[in-house]
A and B are shown apart, each in its own frame.
Chain A
Amino acid sequence: MSEQNFDEQTRLGSIISGSLTRGVEVKLDASISVEDMAVGRYVAIEGERRRFFGMITDVSLEAIDPRAMVTPPDVSDPFIAQVVSGTTIYGKLRVLPMLTIGGDAMSILEGPQPAKTVPTHFSEVRLASQRDVELVFGAEDDKRFYIGTPLDMETKVCLDISEFVTRSNGVFGKSGTGKTFLTRLLLVGMLQKQAAVSLVFDMHSEYGWEGRSEKGYKVKGLKQLFPSKVAVFALDEESSRWRKVSTDFVVKIGYDEIEPEDIDLLQQTLNLTEASTQAVYQLAREFGDRRWLEVVLNLTEDESKQLIPKLNIHDSTYRNLRRGLENLRRFPFLVPHAPDNPVKRILEYLDRGINVILEFGRFDDFAAYILVANLLSRRIYAQYREKAEKAMGGDVAPSHPLVISIEEAHRFLNPELANRTIFGRIAREMRKYNVTLLVIDQRPSGIDDEVMSQLGTKITCLLDDERDIDSVLTGVAGKSELKSVLSKLETKQQALIFGHSVPMPVVIKTREYGSAESYKELGFLEAAELKRKTEKEIEDLWAP
Chain B
Amino acid sequence: MTTLTEGARRASSVRDGAVPTRVRRRPAAWWGLTPFALYVVLFLVVPCAIALGTGFVSSDGAPTLSGLAALGDPVVLRAFGSSALVSGVTAVVGALVGAVVCWGLTALRPDGVVRSLIDSAASVLAQFGGVMLAFAFTATIGIQGVVTQLLLTRAGVDIFAGGVWFYQVPGLLLPYAYFQVPLMVIVFMPAVTGLKPQWQEAVATLGGTARQHLFRVVVPVLAPAFVGSLLLLFANAFSSYATAAALISQGSQIVPLQIRAALVSETVLGREGVAGVLALGMVVVMVVLMTLYSLLQRRTERWQR
Partners in one complex: no
Binding site for B on A (CB under 8 A): none
